[in-house]
Amino acid sequence: MQRNVAVLTADMVNSTLFSREETTSWLTELIDSLKKNPDFDWILEPEIYRGDSFQCVLKTPENVLRLAVLARVLLRKHSDKTDLRIAIGIGSGNELTDRAGTSDGEAFRLSGHLADNIRKQKARIGIAMSVPSDPMSATLDILETIIGNWSPAQSEVVAALLQNENVTQISERLSVSQPAISQRLSASKWWAVDHFLSTFPQHLALYIKP
């Protein structure tokens, strides 16, 4: 049996509010940061298409929610008027090429179908699998009530944590006091999101086999 992969399709929200230069700069910086992150085992690295969207493929679906949250906060740190809609498909990827845009398989079709319909749901991260997963969708709805309220300043700190910086390093880099950094994390309810991200592999195991 072929191992499951995770296909992530992301579309920038409100891209028309910003100049093409801003959109290109923010997405390029975002993708460079994702590529450098050692937590992600790429089959196909993120690739921009249509100017305000990107797609990528992970070998380990267990890390895809962490990837999705990181991608969102890397963009949201620039403005409270932008975000990403992220459609994740988990399944086989049996027709892989050297580019996500020309590859195919169950995970690609699940992600593509969800990307076409994600505007109809309130949560901006969705996960589609070949089996019914309503409890997972409900959990993502709850997650959205937290992430959706993060300010650019909170998003910046969360992005740093997800890139393996500690509070001391963040404080020094941003020239912000450690108590102020801790306050941003407390206000963002980061502890709850971090707990869900750390247990996501167990949630996913209820639906798919490794």
- Identify the helix (H) or strand (E) that includes residue 165: none
**Cα distance between residue 157 and residue 174, in whole Å:** 9
Phi, psi of 147 (to 5 degrees): -60, -40
Q: What is the pLDDT of residue 185?
A: 96
Stated pTM of the model:
0.95
The whole-chain average pLDDT of the chain stands at 94
Domains of the chain: 5-205 (3.30.70.270)
Residue type, 121: Q
3-state secondary structure 104-138: ECHHHHHHHHHHHHHHHCCCCEEEECCCCCHHHHH
Q: Has residue 136 got a pLDDT over 60?
A: yes
Torsion angle, CA of 64/73/27/19, rounded to 10 degrees? Answer: 150
pLDDT confidence bin for 194, thresholds 50/70/90 = very high
pLDDT of residue 93: 77
Q: How far apart are CA 14 and CA 32, in angstroms?
A: 21
Tell me: the pLDDT tens digits for 8-23?
999 999 999 999 999 9
Alpha-carbon span 82 to 58, nearest angstrom: 25
Q: Distance between CA 23 and CA 203 in Å, rounded?
A: 34
**pLDDT tens digit string along 159-191?**
999 999 999 999 999 999 999 999 999 999 999
> Distance of alpha carbon 67 from its chain centroid, rounded?
4
Split at pLDDT 50, 70, 90, the class of 1 is low
Are 14 and 79 within 8 A, CB to CB?
no
Report pLDDT for 210: 60
Which tens digit of pLDDT belongs to each residue from 31-88? 999 999 999 999 999 999 888 999 999 999 999 999 999 999 999 999 999 999 999 9
